[in-house]
Amino acid sequence: MILVSHFHGECGLSMWTDELEFVRDAYPEGHFTGMAHNEKRNELFLAAFGTGAIISVDGRLQQQSELPTMTCAVHGICTHGDYLCATDTSVDRLKIIDLDQREVVAEWAFGVTPQDQHHMNSCWFGEAGPPELYVSAFTLRRKRDDSQEGSWRRYTREGVILDLANWWASDGLPSVVQDGISHPHTVRVYGESLWWCESVTGTLWWQGTPFWRHQGYLRGLAFTQAHVYAATSKRSEFRGLGYEDVSRLFRINPTGVLVNEVVLDAKYGEVFAIEHVPDDWLSP
């Protein structure tokens, strides 16, 4: 089953079959950015933008717990084993939460100033879990001021993918895996390969090589053994680049050929995250 988290719409979560047939909606008027399924615990975690809440829900979509409060802009989350990682774009901070203790056990700051200077937005553990950890951000340099001209929104081709394994293991400096990206989002590791979305160009990258492209603001990525799932979001500020005023959900085969797509109703707003869960995860 494919789960999709939505923002700026009238629905926080939508559910689809692996063939992209509609199943159901949940959380009317919800605004979820990050989403991650923990296989070990069979918990789904959802990050609510604007409140800083990260909640865990079961297959009945009933809330089980709430993790330590972040600040208002939790953008991306990932989980592996006993840990959950969350990126907070409002202060460019990354926090590691111990899921047994339900408390923050480590924190990494992108810069000195607790502001949205670099727009660190997604994170993902490697296949083996900690300490392998990757993050995406729009720029390595601080924005010049708070004007639109100086903000990270204008920083194309400055985005980076960082490897934080040295920080986790020995409090060392992160390493740059890839740079020169236009608005990177949704860094993922699947099959020991590193993937990410280059949002402005609508390009899905695999191991530094273009895998697939669609004209739209690409964000959200999930995998099954048979397919890759991605999404584009309507973004009014990029209409000059020919973007459509709709969001779409795509199913792509392993060779980069589109299998099918769904045009999402306006009620869904933007897509922030996609997650694949077992078909029997959702309770009747």
Helix (H) or strand (E) holding 170: helix 165-170
The answer to whether residue 284 sits within a structural domain is: no
- In this prediction, residue 4 has a pLDDT band, given cuts at 50, 70 and 90, of very high
Q: Domain tally for the chain? A: 1
Does the N-terminal peptide bond of residue 254 adopt cis geometry, omega within 30 degrees of 0?
Answer: no
For residue 283, the model assigns a pLDDT of 84
The predicted model gives 255-259 an average pLDDT of 97
CA 79, CA 39: separation in Å to the nearest integer?
A: 9
The answer to whether residue 17 sits within a structural domain is: yes
**CATH number of the structural domain spanning residue 76:** 2.120.10.30
pLDDT digits over 70-108, tens only?
A: 666 899 999 999 999 999 888 889 999 999 999 999 999
Question: Positive or negative, the Cα torsion across 223, 108, 272, 218?
Answer: negative
Among residues 86, 92, 74, the alpha carbon closest in space to that of 33 is found at 74
> pTM (2 decimals)?
0.93
For residue 149, the model assigns a pLDDT of 44
Quote the domain boundaries for residue 196: 2-276
The answer to whether residue 283 sits within a structural domain is: no
